[in-house]
């Protein structure tokens, strides 16, 4: 056996044979016609035994590897769980005032309404005190849309050559209609309510829970339901790619111009010349309402753009008529 | 413990069950549906934790838009029935690859 191993090692070093490549071990060439039946049987049994042995070795090794992988995965998970539980245990208890974290919150709660004019303190926080964060979030959404557009957009240059015909594919996608009457009926009944709810949440961001992100998402969902119910042909009438680009650009530019000065003024802000209005009405909160609308537009367009790109690989017609 | 506390604990247990079940289900479609359930439970939990802003966003994004994007991705990669018996679903709608004849190659 030892000699055999040595021989194998040399064979392996010379590249004739690999340890794991058991089945391709060169069979000894035998002149079978000269051997008796008994010898043939014996050789056959030997080779079968050898094969079974090697297979058992391979199986045991695989088992060992699998056990090792499972063990490592379990250990990693346990360590991660431990770290998470440890950090959670150090978080201050829910609802209990913590002097370390309550200092800023106290300022927001006590003077937020006076300084921002928004009844909803959260809205005043994210769109007045920390509006620059929200600007970054809007740009993150825009960047995500651009990335999806780069990856999934299908035009003449971005299709499998010879397999897909641009005009056929785009025409099929353009006129695709949902044939399900239940979906269409329920959608048409629900759509005005969803749109109205989205607009309500968007416009009342400074008075009640909601605001740009929530309202924009609800409106984006409504747009998605609309295009799923009545087909893209109807939504493309007003939602071309040019339109979406324009809306997002105007919203982001307005937001950047309105709030970007905070960054350059050393985060001090300027005097707010917009009247704050009566707290509780829609026209209150100064700059918060326009900023909410801008964020909502960006979010709604992004959601619809995601859906449209995932579904058919383009946002509306890009200016060229298909006919 | 009042009723809200009991309700909250039940929801938290359901949340953990959903989170584990997403990983353990074999069918991707079922995973997406369980993920939607997870988002809905999380939405109720946000309301119980007195942050309705997040609840609205969670309901719209988590249970609505992202699940739909998942479903459409599954449709694109044709993996809705991946947990069932393997058939030729992968090749079903693929356009045939055109054969390049010798003449075209020469051109």
Considering only the beta carbons, identify the residue of B53, B72, B73 that sits closest to A214: B53
Q: Does the pLDDT at position B82 exceed 60?
A: no
In chain A, how many domains are there?
Answer: 2
Within this chain, do residues A149 and A249 fall inside the same structural domain, yes or no?
A: yes
Is residue A100 in some structural domain? no
Question: Model confidence over A276-319: pLDDT tens digits?
Answer: 777 777 777 777 888 889 999 999 999 999 988 888 777 776 54
Mean pLDDT over the full length of chain A: 79
Q: SS3 for A121?
A: helix
What percent of chain A has a predicted confidence (pLDDT) above 70?
A: 76
Within this chain, do residues A132 and A216 fall inside the same structural domain, yes or no?
A: yes
Question: Model confidence over B22-56: pLDDT tens digits?
Answer: 989 988 899 999 999 999 999 999 999 888 888 98
| pLDDT (0 to 100) of residue A160 | 66
Highest mean pLDDT: which range of A174-183, B36-45, B93-102: B36-45
Q: Output phi, psi for A164, to 5 deg.
A: -110, 140
Two tokens at A266?
């050393």
Is residue A320 in some structural domain? no
Mean pLDDT over the full length of chain B: 78
Within this chain, do residues A43 and A175 fall inside the same structural domain, yes or no?
A: no
Within this chain, do residues A72 and A183 fall inside the same structural domain, yes or no?
A: no
Is residue A228 in some structural domain? yes
Question: Count of residues for chain B?
Answer: 107
Within this chain, do residues A219 and A269 fall inside the same structural domain, yes or no?
A: yes
Helices A241-264 and A131-152: crossing angle in degrees, nearest 10, is 150
Within this chain, do residues A49 and A137 fall inside the same structural domain, yes or no?
A: no
| Shortest Cα–Cα distance, B84 to chain A (Å) | 25
| Alpha carbon distance A209, B80 (integer Å) | 37
Question: Model confidence over A106-117: pLDDT tens digits?
Answer: 778 887 777 777
Within this chain, do residues A72 and A171 fall inside the same structural domain, yes or no?
A: no
CB spacing of B76 vs A310 below 8 angstroms: yes
pTM (two decimals): 0.70
List the domain range (segments joined by +) for residue A147.
119-312
Within this chain, do residues A265 and A147 fall inside the same structural domain, yes or no?
A: yes
B9 contacts chain A (CB < 8 A): no
Burial annotation A8-42 (CB, 10 A radius, 16+ → b, else e)? eeeeeeeeebeeeeeeebeeeeeeeeeeeeeeeee
What separation in angstroms does the CA of B41 have from each of A197, B7, B19, B31? Answer: 22, 11, 11, 15
Within this chain, do residues A126 and A239 fall inside the same structural domain, yes or no?
A: yes
| Shortest Cα–Cα distance, B66 to chain A (Å) | 9
| Alpha carbon distance B60, B16 (integer Å) | 21
| Alpha carbon distance A207, A284 (integer Å) | 9
H-helix segments, chain A? 2-13, 37-90, 102-116, 121-124, 131-152, 166-174, 181-203, 212-230, 232-235, 241-264, 288-312
Domain-wise residue ranges, chain B? 3-77
CB spacing of A209 vs B97 below 8 angstroms: no
Task: List CB contacts (< 8 A) between A310 and chain B.
Answer: 69, 72-73, 76
Q: Does the pLDDT at position A185 exceed 50?
A: yes
Cβ–Cβ < 8 Å for A254, A290: yes
Start-to-end CA distance of chain A, whole Å, equals 80
Instruction: Give kind and range of the element (H or E) at residue B59.
Output: none
Within this chain, do residues A84 and A123 fall inside the same structural domain, yes or no?
A: no
| pLDDT (0 to 100) of residue B107 | 40
Residue A145: name the closest of A244, A237, A224 by CA.
A244
């Amino acid at each position: 056996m030892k000699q055999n191993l040595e021989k194998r090692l040399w064979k392996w070093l010379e590249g004739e044979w690999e340890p794991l490549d058991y089945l391709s071990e060169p069979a000894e060439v035998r002149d079978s016609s000269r051997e008796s039946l008994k010898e043939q049987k014996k050789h056959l049994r030997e080779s079968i035994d050898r094969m079974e042995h090697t297979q058992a070795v391979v199986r045991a090794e695989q088992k060992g590897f699998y056990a090792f992988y499972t063990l490592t995965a379990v250990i990693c998970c346990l360590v991660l769980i431990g770290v998470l539980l440890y950090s959670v245990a150090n978080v201050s208890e829910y609802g209990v005032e913590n002097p370390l974290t309550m200092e800023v919150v106290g300022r927001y709660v006590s003077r937020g309404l006076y300084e921002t004019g928004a009844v909803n303190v959260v809205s005043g926080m994210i769109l007045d005190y920390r509006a620059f964060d929200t600007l970054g979030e809007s740009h993150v959404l825009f960047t995500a849309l651009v990335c999806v557009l780069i990856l999934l957009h299908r035009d003449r240059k971005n299709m499998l050559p010879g397999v897909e015909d641009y005009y056929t594919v785009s025409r099929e996608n353009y006129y695709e209609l949902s044939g399900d009457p239940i979906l269409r009926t329920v959608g048409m009944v629900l759509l005005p309510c969803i749109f109205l709810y989205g607009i309500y949440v968007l416009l009342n961001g400074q008075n009640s829970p909601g605001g740009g992100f929530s309202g924009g998402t609800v409106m984006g969902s409504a747009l998605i339901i609309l295009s799923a119910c009545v087909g893209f042909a109807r939504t493309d009438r007003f939602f071309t790619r040019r339109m979406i680009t324009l809306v997002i650009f105007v919203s982001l530019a307005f937001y950047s111009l309105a709030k970007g000065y905070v960054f350059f003024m050393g985060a001090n802000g300027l005097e707010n010349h917009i009247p704050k209005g009566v707290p509780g009405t829609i026209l209150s909160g100064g700059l918060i309402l326009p900023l909410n609308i801008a964020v909502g537009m960006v979010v709604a367009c992004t959601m619809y753009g995601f859906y449209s790109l995932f579904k058919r690989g383009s946002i509306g017609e890009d200016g060229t008529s298909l006919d | 413990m009042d009723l809200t506390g009991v309700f909250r604990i039940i929801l938290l247990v359901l949340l953990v069950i959903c989170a584990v079940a997403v990983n353990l289900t074999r069918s991707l479609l079922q995973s997406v549906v369980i993920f939607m359930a997870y988002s809905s439970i999380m939405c109720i939990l946000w309301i119980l934790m007195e942050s309705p802003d997040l609840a609205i966003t969670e309901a719209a994004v988590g249970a609505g838009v992202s699940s739909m994007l998942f479903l459409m991705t599954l449709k694109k990669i044709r993996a809705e029935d991946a947990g069932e018996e393997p058939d030729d679903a992968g090749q079903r709608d693929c356009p045939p690859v055109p054969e390049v004849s010798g003449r075209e190659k020469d051109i």
